Each structure stands twice: as C-alpha cells, then as structure tokens.
Amino acid sequence: MTVSAEKVVLITGALSDIGRATAQAFAKTGYSVALNHRSKPDDAARFADYLVSEIGAPQVLPFQADIRVRAEVAAMFEQIYARFGRLDVLVNNAGINRDSAFLEMTDEEWETVTATVLKGTFMCSQEFARRYTGTSGSIINFGATTAITGRKNGANYCPARAGVLTLTKCMALELAPNIRVNTVTPGRIDTEEVRLRYHTDDPETRKSFERDVPLQRMGEPADVASMIIYLVESGEYITGQNMIVDGGLLMR
C-alpha cells in the first residue's frame, strides 16, 4: 500500500457543478482527490486529468460506485485506501431529485431520492469513520434550504435533506473529538440543475430570482466550495453545525 504524503479527500457526486468546484478547491489547497461517480467513467477520467495538469493536484483518481449500494460503497473505500493509503476528508455531495406531487409520488421516486441523499450519506460516513484512525478527520454533508422550509413536489427530497441535518448532529456527537461533522446548505446557486429547474438562463427570470437575495446575486459553486474548505482547514472548533451559503436569503 502506497501512503500519500498529502491529505486525501473523497467527493461523492464529484461531476456535478458543486462537486467539480469542490474538487478544484481541494486541489488548489494541496489535497489529493478521490472522485466518486456512478456511471460516467470517461468524464471522470478527463476531469481527473484536468485537476492534475491544470490545477496542480498531487494525485487524482476516479472511483465508480453507486452510493446507494453498501457493497459498492465498501469496495470504493477499500480501493481508495489501496491507492492512497489514507483518507482525511469525506464530502457527501451526491444527491438526486425526483419531483412529484405528494399524492402522485411513487415508492420508486421516494426510495431513489431517500436512498441517495440520506442512506448514501449514512453509508459513506460510516465506512469513512470505521477506517479513520487519525485525530483531525472531517465529514461535510449537504443540506438544502427546503429541508427547513419545505416546498411543493419535494416530499421525498426535503425530508431526506432534513434527515441529513439531524444525522450530522448525531454523527458529530458520536465521532468527536477525532472527526468533525458539519452540513453545508447551498441556497440559490448557479448550477445546471437550478438553471433547468427555474429557467434562470432567461435574464428577466434571473433578475426576479435574485431580487429576494440580500446580496442581490445568485451564488457560484465556488462560494459553496469556499465554505467547505473553511470548515475543513480553519474551522477546528466547529462541529455539528449547518452552515448556510445563500447570500442571506434564509435568515433565522
């Protein structure tokens, strides 16, 4: 087994907009990066090459696994340790939406979303924590503002993200002091999913979308990545918290 001299981060769902921004931020910070994806090996390989050649990451390797399947999750962690010899940070970024009206939502739509968002976060975190032997590990989970407010057609996604918020607190209590666990909750971030869902490529729609945000703009994936880097690198006395990155939209 080769032991990396650099710290290593695993990012699930690493090919999403926020996943890519997070991978770039860790690469710039000097981390080696394990990129999880479910079904896009060519895209993952190209992105891994980019992080090394253009961003300067020490090492980047893609790992294909469906985080809803325990055997695949466990195998991924074994492969990461075999290739890097260590893992210091887990970013549970993977997620999925299957919107449907509450009275029409199918069991499959419920189970696909909850298995990815909540069960996937649980299993990846468990496999990470079982193997981690250091004293400064970090797990970053992802919340959603709708986990707090709710929304129409999200009776699977919103409760799953709400479950992640509470799971974060449970893990933070049980894994302290050697592993810190926090949630990052993005607001109106300019991602492909948000553009498709809310049609924000239209200038007038975008202006309307930004009007309610105190900082008067949509966030960028890099804004979310910056919070993650802060929690991992500087937030040594922060655990069990939900850090909302939304330009002030959801103040509580």
Active site residue 157: yes
Whether the upstream peptide bond of residue 177 has omega within 30° of 0, thus cis, is yes
33 close to 8: Cβ distance less than 8 angstroms: yes
Specify the pLDDT at position 181.
99
Residue 85: name the closest of 133, 19, 28, 52 by CA. Answer: 133
The residue ranges of DSSP E strands in 132-209, in sequence order, are 137-142, 179-186
Specify the pLDDT at position 2.
57
What pTM was estimated for this model as a whole?
0.96
Mean pLDDT, to the nearest integer, of 163-186?
98
Sign of CA dihedral 8, 131, 129, 77: positive
CATH homologous superfamily for 8-189+221-245?
Answer: NAD(P)-binding Rossmann-like Domain (3.40.50.720)
Domain boundaries of the chain, sorted by first residue: 8-189+221-245
In the block, which residue shows the tokens 């890099």?
222
Catalytic choice (132, 157, 198, 230): 157
Mean pLDDT, to the nearest integer, of 87-115?
97
Structure tokens at 58: 């020490």
The residue ranges of DSSP E strands in 38-117, in sequence order, are 60-64, 89-91
Mean pLDDT, to the nearest integer, of 60-78?
98
Write out pLDDT tens, residues 87-99.
999 999 999 999 9
